[in-house]
Amino acid sequence: MKYMLLVYSDEKAASESDKQQCREDSARFAQELHANGQYVAAAPLQPTATATSVRRQDGRRVVTDGPFAETREQLGGYFVIEAADLDVAIDIAGRLPAGRWGTVEIRPIIEMRSLPNVDSAAAYSIKG
């Protein structure tokens, strides 16, 4: 089963050097997951100041700057993993380097055969 690990933290809580170290640690962790056949995809996200939210209201598209909700922690990145069950996903989530500063939410993914299948190695890369 595939799980998405959503990484939430206060994007201002870590220094730039801590963030860079976390990206490097995460890339190594992704390589470890890949070697174990558990890696599907991962990427850090740009800060919430770069976010745009789109919603429908009264049949019209409404576009606003910023994330949808104001919270203390923001979505900062994600991993998509392959895990035998929730217990394995919990173990992996507990080892995510970015979890040092926040919360990792685990969500099972609904696999739909009608969606295009993208080769994760070609579509995603982790850059420092």
Task: Please tell me the distance from the alpha carbon of residue 128 to that of residue 106, in angstroms, as a whole number.
Answer: 24
Name the maximum alpha-carbon separation found in the chain: 49
Which tokens sit at 119? Answer: 């080769």
User: Residue with structure tokens 């969606």?
Assistant: 115
- DSSP helix/strand/coil, 58: coil
Q: Which residues of the chain have pLDDT under 50?
A: 120-128
pLDDT on residue 68: 61
Task: Please tell me the distance from the alpha carbon of residue 83 to that of residue 38, in angstroms, as a whole number.
Answer: 6
Measuring CA to CA, how many Å separate 101 from each of 18, 62, 82? 10, 33, 24
- For each of the domains in the chain, give its residue range(s) and CATH number, in order of start: 2-113 (3.30.70.1060)
Neighbours of 62 (CB within 10 A): 10
Which residues lie closer than 8 Å to 92 by C-beta, 6 or more apart? 5, 33, 38, 79, 81, 83
pLDDT on residue 75: 85
pLDDT on residue 27: 94
pLDDT on residue 128: 45
